[in-house]
Structure 1
Amino acid sequence: MFCYTYLSNVECGLRELIMWSEISSEHPIFLTNVAQCLNITLPPNIVAGLERVRQCFMSINQQARQLLGSSPQYRNNPMHNYTLAQQTANLMQQFLHYDQEFIGILQQLQTLGPNQPVWQTLVHHIEQEQTYMYRLIANLLQQLSQQPTPYSNMYSVSTDPEA
């Protein structure tokens, strides 16, 4: 990670998850399209893997958006905040799982088109970005896991809609 990211509230973590899961769901499409343009044939198992992680990241994105949409109406309810934090943590764990799977696919993609510098650069760039996302989400998950229980007076979700 290039710098430490501080999780100021659960909604902040959901926003990060929404952004990175959306980017992650677009990467497989981009890779498939560039491979076609460069006449690089992707093996069927790689195509299936790319489609699988795309769908998984899209699902995480949709679930995170739903959680974020439900959070304002329950801001002052400690039990809801705790539940929201647990659900966010579960989505982050799923993200980490799928990101590991995607990084493995990217490593396989690097073996294709060895004489295609554009392809190699693209795959390497996406792998670096997915690795960054992994470290970021793992860091946010660790911070989220250290949040107090619902019975603590210190725990609250920000009431600032821009947070």
Structure 2
Amino acid sequence: MALSQARLRPMRGEDLDWVCACEAELHAFPWTRGNFNDSLAAGHELWVWETENGPEAAPLGYAVVQRVADEAELLDIGVAHHAQRRGVGRALLARLIDHACEHGATQFFLEVRPSNVAALALYRSAGFETVGRRRGYYPATQGREDALVMRLAL
């Protein structure tokens, strides 16, 4: 898999079957097709990260970003299981950050579960810092789980 040939492109309707299946594999409480459609309707940026694989592009990951004024916020991100631990998430996140900068963002926010150790390590290595905590933000198998609010100055 050559990440140097990967590209970020807007998500299309025909991507939703793959994105929703991937989302369901990755998260205990996945976004639904309705959530993705709501984000599209709200004007959020929905992206697919893909690489050329023979005659067709193969999707590796996806993301949803909301931009307001000079801020960007990562609402959802996922990397297909077969593409994990190969730098795909890091490359996707870097491209999202670059895109936000190119469009005038001066800071980038996200929320993450404290229990998501791999995501926390990725975000910290990209320069994100914890700036807050939202109590009971995420559903959990028993009750609710907090979210760490992280920020990257661009």
TM over 0.5: no
Structure holding more strand per residue: 2
Which has the higher relative contact order, 1 or 2, with Cα contacts under 8 A spaced 6 or more apart? Answer: 1
- TM superposition score normalised by structure 1: 0.32
Structure holding more helix per residue: 1
- TM superposition score normalised by structure 2: 0.33
